[in-house]
Amino acid sequence: MAKGKIFEAIFNFVGNAIKYTSEGVVVLKIELASESCYEPRNGDDDAKGPISGPVIRVTVSDTGMGISKEDIPYLFAKFSRRDAAHMNSEGTGLGLYVVKLVIEAHGGRTWAESEGEGEGSRFVIEIPVNHAA
């Protein structure tokens, strides 16, 4: 799979963060980490363990509308659109699903975190260094 798809996945995260943050900030952080911080989340049907060895970690954090704990397990599902989120925006509900497919095809993991609605969110991609080179 083309490495350009990884960049498209990152741009998807950044674009979503900007779209759902009417006020506040969006932060993109890219780092080389000695190990994965992935932990299976509730709702991970195919819960995979952390990646062995060093990873490139991409984190997109925002102070936007946040995500309810109930919605998080469904974010990366095909055609998933949150009710509150899709009222004022266009989309097919495929973006995060495609991100997950691309990242997993490169041996990586992706997930979302939020303390709840109104609390912002954090989207993370981890790719093993041996796949990112």
Where do the structural domains in the chain lie, given as residue ranges?
4-132
The pLDDT-based confidence of 102 (bands split at 50, 70, 90) is very high
The pLDDT-based confidence of 1 (bands split at 50, 70, 90) is low
Sheet holding 55-62, edge to edge: 26-33, 55-62, 121-128, 109-113
Residue 89 is predicted with a pLDDT of 57
Give the fold, CATH level 3, of 4-132.
Heat Shock Protein 90 (3.30.565)
Q: What is the pTM of this model?
A: 0.84
The pLDDT-based confidence of 42 (bands split at 50, 70, 90) is low
Residue 84 is predicted with a pLDDT of 47
The mean predicted confidence, pLDDT, of the chain is 84
Residue 97 has pLDDT above 80, yes or no: yes
Looking at per-residue pLDDT, the higher value among 58 and 22 belongs to: 58
Measured CA to CA, the distance from residue 70 to residue 95 in angstroms comes to 19
Residue 39 is predicted with a pLDDT of 78
Please count the residues of the chain.
133
Measured CA to CA, the distance from residue 102 to residue 114 in angstroms comes to 23
